[in-house]
Amino acid sequence: MSSDHKNGQHGASIPVYMLVAAILVVVTALEVGFFYLDVVGELMVTIMIGLSILKFGLVVGYFMHLKFEAPLFTYFFLGGLLLAISISLAFLTLFTNFDIGDPNMAQMAPATPTPYPTPTVVLVVAESASNIVSESVDDTLVGGGGIFAGKGCGGCHSIDGLEGAVGQVGPDLTNIGTVADTRMPGMNAREYIEKSIIDPNDFVVDGFAPVMPELMGAFKEGEFQGLVDYLESLE
């Protein structure tokens, strides 16, 4: 039994406990500061672990009185602690690096997230719709509605009253002549419509993906202006 036990005392004096408590408060404040201010960069984890070990040692040594116990108790405590850490690391390594379902316990490669394919799929659908409709519509169709249908625009956009214009990939263009006039400050409806066709992904309506293909190379003489005239008239 230690001399402290024999003298009826166990542990440190009150000033020492107050000093240890103050150190714990300061260390905790440093941890909070490092976390929220992010002033240590890549050293964050290392510093946090070091500060946690310091706090753990102070609490166990002083407030759990391990510092003042017989060495045998210290050995028992440290032995159990090391055993628990070793088991935890072993299980962490097992479940992180090995495939439990593999009878050979082959090491797994890090999982790579699969990119979300929707924009690519929608783009393919939009281009395919354009090709299909273009092939099925007579090139002799005249007027803006005929140009709209002939270029396959109805595969992606809808216009009330226009046969085949029932697409859902892009926004409804039934009233685009009115809506376009309010889209961009300083830009009237015709300018907005022209820009949307020339650079289709510059103005993307909320809720829709930027997948409209460029069509300028597909227009014959007069078709671009004819299409713009038609869309501008949809009020």
Low-confidence stretches of the chain (pLDDT beneath 50): 1-8, 100, 105-109, 116-141
CB atoms within 10 A of CB 62: 20
Domain-located, residue 69: yes
* Six token digits for residue 59: 């609490």
Residue at which a domain ends, from 37, 68, 97: 97
Report the alpha-carbon angle 125-130-135, nearest 5. Answer: 130
Domain-located, residue 107: no
Give Cα 153 to chain centroid, integer Å. 32
- Secondary structure letter of residue 106 according to DSSP: P
Domain-located, residue 129: yes
Same domain flag for 206 and 130: yes
Same domain flag for 134 and 212: yes
Q: Which domain holds residue 37?
A: 3-97
Same domain flag for 164 and 212: yes
- What's the confidence (pLDDT) of residue 7? 46
Same domain flag for 129 and 218: yes
This prediction has a pTM of: 0.40
Q: Which residues of 187-212 are buried (b: 16+ CB within 10 A; e: fewer)?
A: bebbbbbbbbbeebeebeeeeebebb
Domain-located, residue 104: no
- What's the confidence (pLDDT) of residue 43? 83
Domain-located, residue 133: yes
Same domain flag for 174 and 205: yes
Domain-located, residue 105: no
Query: Any idea what the CATH number is for the domain that residue 199 is in?
Result: 1.10.760.10
For residues 150 and 113, give the distance between their C-alpha atoms in angstroms, rounded to a whole number: 40
Same domain flag for 152 and 228: yes
CB atoms within 10 A of CB 21: 14
Domain-located, residue 202: yes
- What's the confidence (pLDDT) of residue 18? 92
Same domain flag for 77 and 149: no
- Provide the number of structural domains found in the chain: 2
- What's the confidence (pLDDT) of residue 23? 93
**Which residue, chain included where needed, has tokens 């408060």?**
25
Contact present, 97 and 30 (Cβ < 8 Å): no
- What's the confidence (pLDDT) of residue 130? 44
Contact present, 212 and 201 (Cβ < 8 Å): yes
Same domain flag for 216 and 125: yes
Same domain flag for 126 and 222: yes
Same domain flag for 140 and 55: no
- What's the confidence (pLDDT) of residue 24? 92
Domain-located, residue 103: no
For residues 87 and 187, give the distance between their C-alpha atoms in angstroms, rounded to a whole number: 68
Positive or negative: CA dihedral 135, 122, 172, 233: negative
Residue at which a domain ends, from 36, 62, 97: 97
Same domain flag for 216 and 174: yes
- What's the confidence (pLDDT) of residue 204? 83
Classify residue 180 by burial, with Cβ atoms within 10 Å: 0-12, 13-18, 19+: buried
Same domain flag for 51 and 157: no
- What's the confidence (pLDDT) of residue 69? 80
Got the DSSP string for 144-202? HHHHHHHTTGGGT-B-TTSTT-B--SS---TTHHHHGGGTSTT--HHHHHHHHHHSTTT
